[in-house]
Structures are given as structure tokens and as C-alpha cells.
Amino acid sequence: GISVENTAIEFAVVVAILSSNEDIAIAEGFCFAGEVGLSGEIRPVNRIEQRIQEAEKLGFTTIFVSKHNKISLKNTGIKIVLVAKIEDVVSELFG
């Protein structure tokens, strides 16, 4: 198993498992920040604006986050995709 100290990584772990299961790679430049509930809802995480800015600094082009996060960033160079459930991401990434 894996030990996780920050629940914001849950979203990325679920997407990695789905990617492996579907045998389809995630596009380069994508990242994910959010908690995942038992019914697949993507929950907001704290310090989301800081996470978005850091992802941009690291060269990511797109970040997927919960639609329930409050984001007031303007003029970012990273595309912010707001999602409610893991199913939204599955259709976006794997068709």
C-alpha cells in the first residue's frame, strides 16, 4: 500500500489507478488536487490557490480541482478544470 499524509493527493492516486486499469496514459502536463469521497465526489482541499500556483511553477499546463473550491486567481498560465465527480474526469481523460 501507500502512506498518504496529505489528502489532496487522493484525486491523483485515483486517476493513476484508472489510467493503469484503462491502459491509457494521462496527457503530459496534467495534475490533480482534491480529496475523493466514497461515492466519487471530488472534495475541495485547503490552500488550493497556492497549489495551483505551485503546479504552474512546476510546468503543469492543466490542473483538475473540485468545483467546490473557492478560486479567485486571475491571469494564470495554467488551465483550471473544475469537476464534481470522478466520472467527469473519466470522460474527459479516457473518452
Residues 6+ apart with CB under 8 A from 75: none
19 occurs within a structural domain? yes
62 within domain boundaries: yes
In a domain, 86, yes or no: yes
Q: Is the residue at 74 inside a domain? A: yes
Is 1 domain-assigned? no
Q: Which helix (H) or strand (E) holds 31?
A: strand 30-33
Report yes or no on 73 lying in a domain: yes
Q: How many domains does the chain have?
A: 1
Q: What is the CATH number of the domain that holds 33?
A: 3.30.230.10
Q: What is the pLDDT of residues 24-74, one digit of tens each?
A: 999 999 999 999 999 999 999 999 999 999 999 999 999 999 999 999 888
Evaluate whether 73 touches 53 at the Cβ level (below 8 Å): yes
Task: Say whether pLDDT at 4 is over 90.
Answer: no
Show the DSSP H helices in 23-85 as ranges.
48-57
Q: Is residue 66 situated within a structural domain? A: yes
53: containing domain: 7-94
Inter-residue contact 41 to 32 (CB < 8 Å): no
Q: Is residue 12 pLDDT above 80, yes or no?
A: yes
